Amino acid sequence: MIFNTQIQIPALIIIIGFCVLSCEPLQEAEESDVTEIVILAGAKSHPATLHEYIKNARLIKAMLANAENLEGVHTTIYENGWPDDPSSLDKADLILTISDGRDGPGGEMVPFMKEGRMEIIQKQMDRGCGMMTFHFSTFAPDRYGEQILDWVGGYFDWQNDQGEREWYSDITFLDVPVELSSPEHPVTNGVESFQIVEEYYYDLRFIPDDPRLTPVISVPALEAEHPNGQIVGWAIERSDGGRGFGTSLGHFYGNWKNEGYRKILLNAIVWSAGHKVPEGGIETSYLTDRQVTQFLYGKEYKGLILTGDNYPGHKWEETTPLIHKALEMNGEIHMDISYNINDLFQYDLRDYDFLVFNYCNWEDPDPIWDGSKESLMNYVESGGGLMFIHFANGAFHFSLPDAGESDWPYYRSLCRRVWNHHGNSTHDKYGSYLVNVVEQGHPITDGISDFQVSDELYYNQEGEEPIHVLLSAVSKDTGNEEPQAWIYELNQANGKTSRVFQTTLAHDTVSLNVPEFQKILLNAGLWLSKGTERWRGL
């Protein structure tokens, strides 16, 4: 599933776009002249390329900023579906939510559909803020139905009077044309008819004969049972002055490549924010994930830290931010963080030059799905880089307490020195020692001299495959030079090569605050990135 589409963005546009997005104090426009769009992007929950909430949000932000005929629009993204400071919504002209929605008892609702948060959203609606729901976020429980109908005009209704699953609305997959139901509406400006493969939600719940409702996108092929049942995109203008737009489109991330799909959704976002839609619609190109990363963050490379579990003595909540900080130190790498190991399956790993494992399933008997295993295998076979930090070498091992069926021999073929609780693996007592730079001339150690750390000095780690040692230290227990960081390459049958960096340092925040070790991690990230097969993204 590798797409080869490539769109070149001139360097000047990238630099200007980066300043528009990230150097806000340089903006000369008056605050009142800028339309503020807030995107609430939920956590990933579906396989890669489906329901890509964070990627959708980032792509939308980059495309709006890069549009040829759009000015005065600023976009802010809040991940995990809600801002840390809800007062940040007070200046929003549009709240666009891209997230999961509840489709049965006990499921996760749209993040703002919670007690306390609904009151905050109501406050924003009362002042005339726009609201837009997108695909799964069109789902709503009936107890919030009246408010959602008021704010957006429609929702996917999945329940009966008792709150159990009994769908009024419906779902189907079709590859069919969509119809522009109201071609005079600004959302359709410049849009020509188009056809896409989509997971269509239909027979949605609307207010009967709602005078505010304008059907915008319909699918004649849908076998609907209710009035307006073929509507999959709609607009309302509220009495408070705000606008609402909802669409059940948005299942497949790759649909953004379709010009009609791209233009009508971007038009809808801008219109819902109360901004004028250009006569010919918003003109912008699809951007690959690498281009989005360059445009939003000014970064050439991108990595993903996988964390969220470990031995209780290893405080991943404290070490992960420092690993993240070290890898972003020089401005060339952008790092994402996942707290769910099964994001190996849910994230599109082709977006990342390297993966960082700061993770060990200490007492989790079944922490990883078969799909996650397959995704990691495919990633390595494609030439993706890997970094293993400290006790990540003990993950997915049969000797872990209560680890049950989690043993995964393939992982040990990737991580060549592993901790075996049933063997002789152990470490010196935590304390200070000197780390020796074994090879000064390597890109990872270039310019770095021997340095002092306080850490656990691992030894008797199991594995026979060759490694190229970069750092070592003398164990007080063994009296021997023990490897502290090393590299190797995994040659694949398809001719590609995956680079690997592994270190037993980073027990806690103390060693991660040592400047020399921070530089080692940064250099390792760059070395991995530069050895990665350059994918062309979705």
Nearest in space to 74 (alpha carbons), one of 39, 32, 36:
36
Residue 211's alpha-carbon distances to 45, 129, 214, 318, in angstroms, are 36, 20, 8, 54
Residue 32's pLDDT is: 61
Evaluate whether 83 touches 118 at the Cβ level (below 8 Å).
no
The token pair that represents 11 in the structure block? 């360097």
Which pTM was predicted?
A: 0.90
Evaluate whether 336 touches 303 at the Cβ level (below 8 Å).
yes
**DSSP codes joined into one string, 338-354:** ES-TTHHHHS-GGG-SE
Q: Could you tell me where the DSSP H helices lie in 257-408?
A: 259-272, 289-297, 316-327, 343-346, 370-381
- Three-state SS annotation for 120-132: HHHHHHHCCCEEE
Secondary structure (3-state) at 331: coil
Secondary structure (3-state) at 279: coil
Helix (H) or strand (E) holding 38: strand 35-41
The CATH number of 300-530 is: 3.40.50.880
Residue 162's pLDDT is: 82
pLDDT along the chain (538 residues), means of 10: 33 35 36 88 95 98 97 97 97 98 87 95 98 97 95 96 90 97 98 96 97 98 96 97 98 98 98 97 96 95 96 95 97 96 96 97 86 97 97 94 84 96 95 96 96 98 97 98 98 94 98 98 97 53
Q: How far apart are CA 357 and CA 492, in angstroms?
A: 21
**Residue burial 273-310, b: 16+ Cβ < 10 Å; e: rest:** bebebbeebbbbebbbbbbbbbbbbbbbbbbbbbbbbb
The two beta strands, 179-180 and 214-218, are antiparallel
Q: How far apart are CA 115 and CA 325, in angstroms?
A: 35
Question: From its phi and psi, is residue 61 left (phi > 0), alpha (psi between -120 and 50) or beta?
Answer: alpha
- Domain boundaries for CATH 3.40.50.880 within the chain: 36-287, 300-530
CATH 3.40.50.300 correct for 36-287? no
Report helix, strand and coil shares of the chain as percent, to nearest 5: 30, 25, 45
Residue 366's pLDDT is: 78
Evaluate whether 199 touches 221 at the Cβ level (below 8 Å).
no
